[in-house]
Amino acid sequence: MEIPLTQIAERVGGEVIGDEHTVITGIAPLTTATPSDLSFFIDKRYRKALQGCRAGALLTSGPMNEFEGPQVVVADPQLAYAKVAGLFAPPVRRYPGVSDQAFVHPESRMGGDVSIHPGVHIEAGAYIGEGCTLFPGVFIGERVKIGKRTLIYPNVTILRDCVVGNDVIIHPGTVIGSDGFGFVRDGEKSVKIPQNGQVLIEDEVEIGANNCIDRATLGRTWIKRGTKTDNLVQIAHNVIIGENTIIVAQVGISGSCTIGRGVIIGGQVGISDHMDVGDGAMIGSQSGIAKSIPAGEAVSGSPAISHRQWLKVSALTARLPQLQDRIKALERKIQVLESDGAKE
């Protein structure tokens, strides 16, 4: 794909300094870019790399003297990068129409321009919105509703009655609508609590690979607009997650938690059941959350404390042997002082 620099500048609302007729065919980091690539200067630590850079043009927040070629100046070069890079990616493979090697229940319905690959399975009462792409091995259960332009990668399972919005991306191997983990003890035995609810995933959500999002016991497990999850995330029954929240890989959120909007949850965090995490809270990697977290707080540790306190605590924990030595020294000195006192 050949794209003139002017077109790139338009897409990102940037200003071209230098030859605006330069034609770009790819995007690459400073160190590996060739003369037909656009490169980008986002992280100031890489300033030295500008000098030897062979890129055909540079995306930057201000004109850089070290770079001799044309530059596209924007307010936020990382955001501009995000908007431009997609131009040079191959388009997502779409099967033309509905494959006759897919299983499509006659009582299901579809919007226009869907791409249903071979090996997809769509059950009775399901609805697949206009412009959706379903890859091989995708299972869509009874009465599932999928919005418009949603992209579902291979081997994803979406079980009965779940609802997925518009412009959602679901990466391979993810399971949506498995039973919540609910049992009652009857003597030694565990009696299953039927999980009758659903999962609701709103527009513009992106779900990573091999996630598990359980259906609610009653009502819904609910992931609101614009939230993104990384891979191998566990979201239990009746969890509610607010808008534009970020959940890093291998996080586990237990049943009936309410997570706010704009929250950032680091990798491998575990959250106990029935917790509230307020809007804009930040949870450090590997934290364990057993108390609710007010809006805007940053916490870390297991059990989690304020992030600032945790920095002190973990530094001190590593020095516990020295603290013990200081206690020992004090004990010796006290003994000396006491025996001195006794002598008098």
Q: Is 67 in the site for its own copies (CB under 8 A)?
A: no
Q: Is 219 in the site for its own copies (CB under 8 A)?
A: yes
Q: Which is nearer to its own copies, 112 or 189 (CB)?
A: 189
* 214: β partners: 178
- In angstroms, give the least distance from the CB of 24 to its own copies: 14
Cα 3 to Cα 325: distance, rounded to the nearest angstrom:
67
Question: Judged by CB under 8 A, which stretch of 7-15, 66-74, 247-255, 291-299 contacts its own copies?
Answer: 247-255
- In angstroms, give the least distance from the CB of 68 to its own copies: 22
Collapsing DSSP to helix, strand or coil, 260 comes out as coil
Question: Judged by CB under 8 A, which stretch of 13-21, 58-66, 151-159, 291-299 contacts its own copies?
Answer: 151-159
Cα 101 to Cα 310: distance, rounded to the nearest angstrom:
56
Binding residues among 270-299 for its own copies as defined by CB under 8 A:
270, 272, 285-286, 288, 290
- In angstroms, give the least distance from the CB of 66 to its own copies: 21
Binding residues among 16-55 for its own copies as defined by CB under 8 A:
27-29, 32
Cα 246 to Cα 227: distance, rounded to the nearest angstrom:
6
Among residues 11, 109, 149, 228, the one that binds its own copies under rule CB under 8 A: 228
Cα 226 to Cα 244: distance, rounded to the nearest angstrom:
4
- In angstroms, give the least distance from the CB of 170 to its own copies: 10
DSSP 45: G
- Assess whether 171 carries a catalytic annotation: no
* Long-range CB contacts (within 8 A, 24+) of 161-165: 161/198, 161/215, 162/198, 162/199, 162/200, 162/201, 162/215, 163/198, 163/199, 163/200, 163/201, 164/201, 165/201, 165/202, 165/203, 165/204, 165/205, 165/225
Among residues 25, 36, 61, 210, the one that binds its own copies under rule CB under 8 A: 210
Catalytic residues: 237
